Amino acid sequence: MVNKVKEAWAQGRAVVNGWLAIPSAYAAEVMAQAGFDSLTVDMQHGVQDYLSAVACFQGMQPHPVTPMVRVPWNEPGIVGKVLDAGAMGVICPMINTPEQAQQLVWSCRYPPEGTRSFGPIRAGIYGEAGTYFDTANKDVAVIPMIETKEAMDNLEAILDVPGIDGVYIGPSDLGLSYGLKPALDREEPEILRIYERVLNEAGKRNIAVGLHNGSAAYVKKMIGMGFKLATISNDSGILLQAARAAVATAKS
Amino acid sequence: MVNKVKEAWAQGRAVVNGWLAIPSAYAAEVMAQAGFDSLTVDMQHGVQDYLSAVACFQGMQPHPVTPMVRVPWNEPGIVGKVLDAGAMGVICPMINTPEQAQQLVWSCRYPPEGTRSFGPIRAGIYGEAGTYFDTANKDVAVIPMIETKEAMDNLEAILDVPGIDGVYIGPSDLGLSYGLKPALDREEPEILRIYERVLNEAGKRNIAVGLHNGSAAYVKKMIGMGFKLATISNDSGILLQAARAAVATAKS
Amino acid sequence: MVNKVKEAWAQGRAVVNGWLAIPSAYAAEVMAQAGFDSLTVDMQHGVQDYLSAVACFQGMQPHPVTPMVRVPWNEPGIVGKVLDAGAMGVICPMINTPEQAQQLVWSCRYPPEGTRSFGPIRAGIYGEAGTYFDTANKDVAVIPMIETKEAMDNLEAILDVPGIDGVYIGPSDLGLSYGLKPALDREEPEILRIYERVLNEAGKRNIAVGLHNGSAAYVKKMIGMGFKLATISNDSGILLQAARAAVATAKS
Amino acid sequence: MVNKVKEAWAQGRAVVNGWLAIPSAYAAEVMAQAGFDSLTVDMQHGVQDYLSAVACFQGMQPHPVTPMVRVPWNEPGIVGKVLDAGAMGVICPMINTPEQAQQLVWSCRYPPEGTRSFGPIRAGIYGEAGTYFDTANKDVAVIPMIETKEAMDNLEAILDVPGIDGVYIGPSDLGLSYGLKPALDREEPEILRIYERVLNEAGKRNIAVGLHNGSAAYVKKMIGMGFKLATISNDSGILLQAARAAVATAKS
Amino acid sequence: MVNKVKEAWAQGRAVVNGWLAIPSAYAAEVMAQAGFDSLTVDMQHGVQDYLSAVACFQGMQPHPVTPMVRVPWNEPGIVGKVLDAGAMGVICPMINTPEQAQQLVWSCRYPPEGTRSFGPIRAGIYGEAGTYFDTANKDVAVIPMIETKEAMDNLEAILDVPGIDGVYIGPSDLGLSYGLKPALDREEPEILRIYERVLNEAGKRNIAVGLHNGSAAYVKKMIGMGFKLATISNDSGILLQAARAAVATAKS
Amino acid sequence: MVNKVKEAWAQGRAVVNGWLAIPSAYAAEVMAQAGFDSLTVDMQHGVQDYLSAVACFQGMQPHPVTPMVRVPWNEPGIVGKVLDAGAMGVICPMINTPEQAQQLVWSCRYPPEGTRSFGPIRAGIYGEAGTYFDTANKDVAVIPMIETKEAMDNLEAILDVPGIDGVYIGPSDLGLSYGLKPALDREEPEILRIYERVLNEAGKRNIAVGLHNGSAAYVKKMIGMGFKLATISNDSGILLQAARAAVATAKS
């Protein structure tokens, strides 16, 4: 299977990403029909673990969405497991140094570009069984998160690590790191300047930049600003907001 | 625990009901925070079974919503199981005759009013352990579905069965039975006349009438018409619709 | 595998039975090490369904306890499924007539003694694979519950149905049926007279009698009275009582 | 989605069917890549229940296999649930009379051909959402099992029930009913005569005949004999046999 | 929600803690009604993982017990996940150096006191959604385990790490480290001297000391000695012991 | 329970090992009846996590197979958890240095030979409860994987780490590390020379050597070559291959 996220990036297009916190293949099936280009199972803050991620992948597989995972931590065991399960992109939190970014790349790439162990138990299903190995290093998107002051201090060095396809900004943690409250859809000028600097430096290196957002309106704006991977809230957040609005209307 | 649905009905108020198709305690926790008065686990058409219903009940229990179930069929085994699990209301599909309604009541009530077997494994948690038996026959809401021409032909006889607290109309099946396409939020005059007849006959007997709806706006209208249990779509339907709208906005 | 319950009955010995309401193979493993002769997964009032029963069977299989199930209802589908899963005894609630008892026997026995369908997916593991069929009709214990006034009115006719190995009394439902409160370990003379009558009539026919109990002390007394299958509370009841006592001691 | 089983039957071709007893979406994914035309989740004798059937459906959906279910019993609740979950064929055990066959058809067809309740929660995914209703009565295959002497006595009457697409023979139960041992791949002349009679009577009415088999070689022979739905053992049987052979080779 | 464990400690009171090894929300519901002040899901030695811990939290949430977790290891990914899931206390095994203790504190606290990433998916439910961030650093109890000779050698340095609320002693591992057999409820003078030293040094710093125990009687004694977090065995241990005693009584 | 793998090795015999990728206790039961000496739950590349490994252990426990795990990574938390769950052998991927091998040994052994924490929640079931500790350090097999050029460079130093019982070669990763394609059942002379060197060096130290294989025929050959732990493919691979062959035969 072609990684449509990387294909879009190669063509300069942005992708709209969904975020799965509900540990249910059926909920993933529902999200997979909503028009997202990709769906990311959030194993860090979502109510997800490895087997629920597999179930979500099974739910989304018949649908034209690229399966990705945010892993809970930069740990080779779990990175390998989600790739074997079929993830075509790995978003990894709290990458603050080039050494950490290098470790992430190594975990995602087969030798000689990395140290990933071979055994694509479900991932082999996406392509012809025998050809997964031939294209995996090229197809898998490696996406460290830039979300601390330390990461910003090391920005160029992190972006210079070979093998990085994109970076992803977590606005809440970024804000915390700069002494602000956690929030999405931020408008503080100091934060927007950070976004611009990341877009600029990544752009020089042909690396896509992603952003976690709270609303579709802000997503639209940020795509206009140059972000190439823009997430809208998550499944449970969308559900809660919509259900609250419906109840309010019904009771009005 | 007081059954807030029956309390509202006793006071002449309508309740807004949520509908759970996603088999996940976490999704139920989300829905339980949206402002619904009650949440019904849909074991008939939802992706639910007994243990997922228990999980949903566990997810909603800390929240002020009344737990209910739509059982898959009028079968004493499953009716007893969901009541023991803590359901305070049982909506049962396809009750077309007074005999079927009588069977449903028997399954929901302890002797001498019925034949329910004693063993409220989780339901005992809601009240003081020792007092569940004393109030269960009064607290549990028995709600047969009126959704066929045959049921309408037997309407008065069904409503006359002692122990019925409410009836619930399924517009899709009702339409099918009258030769129409399945749909919610119907506006056909012949269907609205049926609604009026049910509201009228049930009203005479102090029985509440519920309706399954597709939109919050229609719910509001139907509450105005006299319905006392008005469901808004279901969790996966609300999620799909809201996610589609968000993607459309983001990509616009 | 020999059915040790039927073996004990053949030798005139009573068995002490455990009762599983917690849907966990690990909890079943724990109970399987406590010394019970048999363990019954309670699919009627316990927090159990078919797959959790299978898991409990897997947990208890290495241990010398006979696996049994209380089915939720006298329904051929579920009776067949639990037997195929390896149950060596089926306790069925609310058998009030000889016709219902006959239906239960049919569901548990292969032709020509019954109508059970062949496919012992896990049950074949217990004996030599090829020999399960040869002994199943003899090994499986069929145990209808006698727990209503109607059943007592039909007692002799029920006991006369060929193929019944034992009957099991549910004291709470029996009491309800006679206008009393639900309770275990009953001492009302009218109830004890019922127990005596059942013991007497069953004894004449070489049918064992079982009883659900709340305490080990009462179990001991009832075994003395002639009961041959005596259950002590259930796993969650034993856990709650013991945990409460431990907390009370710790805080005293 | 087109029902490829019915398409093949319309063209006079036989389909080779796989049988799922392992309650795992991943095992279903594996079986879905083996070349079967259809896969049937066995909820009667397999280690399967409703939610595991849904998981198996999710596992097989990206692959070109038609999803079917053998339900545990001819009970409207479970028949409706598996159809809503996406089953395109329902095999139902122990249909011995035309009345039972009629009940099965009613459970599988929307009015006016039957009494199925509308709510195709996952089934709507297969076609365009809005069009499922329009084609479901035509697309769903209704397949009662003929597996007793009583069914053979009523054969013509059962086959004359409108709405039956196929019948499925269970050789073990059929044998039991005629006083033989349970077995697949039978060669007794009296059984083969039964097969011929069923093929003949069904053929007159344009109804396909299926058969459960133990080996691929027998499947091939039976397709030659005229069977149009031929199942090869089941997933766990194939696994056990192949693993045993591999160990034997390794240790030889 | 107030952290009742920290509230008790602030008032100089001890809390009695339950320990969950059974991976079942229902078993957690049972334990939550037994009178414990807090319940700790044991992800190190219990039969628990992340999603079973979430289920246990859902089971205990309606009840007045403080939810805690013993994590399997001092790894930032899992510490963050259980806090996001709603844990109000984290007990971490094998903290032997101040550096390890510092890492644990960092994982548990938002900046600037630590490096915890923001996304309290379920934890937000406990307080007002918007206020979780404001109080989390104060509410969450950070509790390293002191259970080796190395940890005792570094005791003061570990206790001096800012942000530690309590320490928890594991008697089996502590004994192993000193060349003794694993055991709870120890009486060896050398071990009791260690307990006294920990109580003394922790007391100077206003840090609570916890202890894992095998019996309620020993818990009572240890609370008298000054321990402020005293665990009684675990759910499966209590169940096994009580079930064994019941069977013994029944068979006596 | 005796560790039959270590017993065989002590007697110079090879064991044939099965490999579990399907997360199902029932699939494990099936594999446990196929004649394997040991079964390894593959938590690295299989569709397995901790709780599915526990379920597989429960499924295999009544059968005479030694339970082992391949952990996802050399991380003390998960190594401890699978041992507590009852694993009698731990295969650990990507051990490239003696320091990594030492860490693995420490995680698997109680003091003074290691740093494993005491709490054998299920493992205690295998032996007499009280005696598990006495024999665990001797019974548990510690098996690092040798599967990179770096590991080969450090071979003697790794093998010299006290406490290693066996090493296990992963042919795909080994090949990748030497610039070859991933494959099992390799015949390249350079790879066979590596096998010989490992067999030779391990043999000097009385350490068994294992190998992952794709076919039973190659297993037989490799046992002849001196391998003492020879794995045949995995459950899903065996199933896929056998199902494909059966379909091909049926359709031929």
All domains of chain B in start order, with CATH:
4-251 (3.20.20.60)
Per-residue tokens: D174: 């059929």
Asked if F247 and D33 come within 8 Å (Cβ–Cβ), the reply is: no
A223 touches chain B (CB under 8 A): yes
Amino acid at site F16: V
- pLDDT attached to residue B126: 54
| Closest-CA residue of chain F to D31 | F240
Is the pLDDT at B93 greater than 90? The verdict is yes
Hey, is E28 helix, strand or coil? helix
- pLDDT attached to residue A233: 97
pLDDT tens track for F132-166: 999 999 999 999 999 999 999 999 999 999 999 99
Question: Which candidate, F21, A25, F46, places its Cα nearest to that of D62?
Answer: A25
Q: Which of A57, A82, A118, A125 to mutate to test the interface with F (most CBs of F within 10 A)?
A: A118
Q: Which of D37, D60, D231, D236 to mutate to test the interface with F (most CBs of F within 10 A)?
A: D236
- pLDDT attached to residue C131: 86
| Closest-CA residue of chain E to F119 | E45
Amino acid at site B27: A
Collect all residues of chain C within an 8 Å Cβ-Cβ radius of residue F62.
Answer: 61-62, 125
Which one has a higher pLDDT value, E130 or B180?
A: B180
Distances (CA, A) of A198 to A177, C142, E199: 16, 72, 51
Chains A and C touch (3+ CB pairs under 8 A): no
Q: Which of B43, B44, B147, B241 to mutate to test the interface with D (most CBs of D within 10 A)?
A: B44
Name the band, by pLDDT with cuts 50, 70 and 90, for residue B235.
Answer: very high
C129 touches chain D (CB under 8 A): no
Collect all residues of chain E within an 8 Å Cβ-Cβ radius of residue A23.
Answer: 51
CA–CA separation, D174 vs D146, rounded Å?
8
- pLDDT attached to residue C147: 98
E230 touches chain C (CB under 8 A): yes
Q: How many Å lie between the alpha carbon of A231 and the closest alpha carbon of chain E?
A: 15
F122 touches chain E (CB under 8 A): yes
Q: What percent of chain F has pLDDT over 70?
A: 97
Q: How many Å lie between the alpha carbon of B26 and the closest alpha carbon of chain A?
A: 7
CA–CA separation, B113 vs C179, rounded Å?
11
Q: What is the mean pLDDT of residues D101-113?
A: 98
| E197 CB neighbour count, 10 Å cutoff | 13
A72 touches chain E (CB under 8 A): yes
- pLDDT attached to residue F189: 98
Q: Is the separation of the CB atoms in C107 and C114 below 8 Å?
A: yes
Name the band, by pLDDT with cuts 50, 70 and 90, for residue F125.
Answer: low
Q: Comparing A120-134, A154-168, A196-210, F187-201, which segment has the lowest mean pLDDT?
A: A120-134
Name the band, by pLDDT with cuts 50, 70 and 90, for residue D128.
Answer: very low
Active site residues of C: 45
- pLDDT attached to residue D251: 97
For the stretch F68-83, what's the b/e string if a residue is b when 16 or more beta carbons lie within 10 angstroms of its beta carbon?
bbbbbbbbbbbbbbbb
- The beta-carbon neighbor of E58 closest among B33, B58, B125 is B58
Asked if C173 and B118 come within 8 Å (Cβ–Cβ), the reply is: yes
Is the pLDDT at A66 greater than 60? The verdict is yes
Is the pLDDT at D183 greater than 80? The verdict is yes
Name the band, by pLDDT with cuts 50, 70 and 90, for residue C2.
Answer: confident
Average pLDDT over all residues of chain C: 96
| Closest-CA residue of chain F to E234 | F121
**Residue A117 class from Cβ within 10 Å (0-12 exposed, 13-18 middle, 19+ buried)?**
buried
Collect all residues of chain A within an 8 Å Cβ-Cβ radius of residue E77.
Answer: 44, 71-73, 75, 78
Q: How many Å lie between the alpha carbon of A212 and the closest alpha carbon of chain B?
A: 13
Name the band, by pLDDT with cuts 50, 70 and 90, for residue D124.
Answer: confident
Rg over alpha carbons for chain B, rounded to the nearest Å, is 17
Q: Is the separation of the CB atoms in E183 and E142 below 8 Å?
A: no
- pLDDT attached to residue A124: 81
| D196 CB neighbour count, 10 Å cutoff | 12
What residues contact A57, with CB distance under 8 A and at least 6 apart? A28, A41, A67, A85, A86, A87, A122
Name the band, by pLDDT with cuts 50, 70 and 90, for residue F244.
Answer: very high
Average pLDDT over all residues of chain A: 96
* Parallel/antiparallel/unpaired status of strands D166-169 and D141-146: parallel
Question: Which candidate, F188, F182, F176, F168, places its Cα nearest to that of F149?
Answer: F176
Amino acid at site C224: G
- pLDDT attached to residue A128: 46
CA–CA separation, E175 vs E186, rounded Å?
9
- pLDDT attached to residue E128: 46
Active site residues of F: 45
Please tell me which residue in E4, E45, E63, E149 is annotated as part of the active site.
E45
CA-CA-CA-CA torsion sign (B44, B45, B49, B54): negative
- The beta-carbon neighbor of B173 closest among D84, D118, D122 is D118
ipTM over 0.90: yes
Asked if E147 and F110 come within 8 Å (Cβ–Cβ), the reply is: no
Per-residue tokens: D165: 């697409």
Q: How many Å lie between the alpha carbon of B7 and the closest alpha carbon of chain D?
A: 30
Asked if F117 and E75 come within 8 Å (Cβ–Cβ), the reply is: no
Q: Is the separation of the CB atoms in C237 and C23 below 8 Å?
A: no
E117 touches chain A (CB under 8 A): yes
| Closest-CA residue of chain D to C54 | D47
Q: Comparing A120-124, D88-92, F92-96, F106-110, which segment has the lowest mean pLDDT?
A: A120-124
Which one has a higher pLDDT value, E124 or D18?
A: D18
pLDDT tens track for B13-63: 999 999 999 999 999 999 999 999 999 999 999 999 999 999 999 999 999
- pLDDT attached to residue F128: 46
- pLDDT attached to residue B130: 66
What residues contact D48, with CB distance under 8 A and at least 6 apart? D20, D21, D23, D41, D42, D56
Task: Give the rounded distance of the alpha carbon of B230 from its chain centre.
Answer: 9
Q: What is the mean pLDDT of residues F114-128?
A: 84
- The beta-carbon neighbor of D59 closest among A26, A33, A58 is A58
pLDDT tens track for C24-39: 999 999 999 999 999 9
Name the band, by pLDDT with cuts 50, 70 and 90, for residue C128.
Answer: very low
Q: What is the mean pLDDT of residues B69-98?
A: 98
Chains D and E touch (3+ CB pairs under 8 A): no
Asked if A45 and E110 come within 8 Å (Cβ–Cβ), the reply is: no
Collect all residues of chain A within an 8 Å Cβ-Cβ radius of residue D58.
Answer: 25-26, 29, 55, 58-59
Is the pLDDT at E85 greater than 80? The verdict is yes
Q: Is the separation of the CB atoms in B207 and B226 below 8 Å?
A: no
Is the pLDDT at A153 greater than 90? The verdict is yes
At which residue do the structure tokens 């206390």 appear?
E89
Question: Which candidate, B41, B232, C29, E194, places its Cα nearest to that of F58?
Answer: C29
Asked if D240 and F26 come within 8 Å (Cβ–Cβ), the reply is: no
Give long-range contacts, CB 8 A cutoff, 24+ apart: A89-92: A89/A3, A89/A5, A89/A38, A89/A40, A89/A140, A89/A141, A89/A142, A89/A143, A89/A165, A90/A140, A90/A141, A90/A142, A90/A143, A91/A40, A91/A143, A91/A144, A91/A145, A91/A168, A91/A210, A92/A143, A92/A144, A92/A145
Please tell me which residue in D45, D122, D149, D220 is annotated as part of the active site.
D45
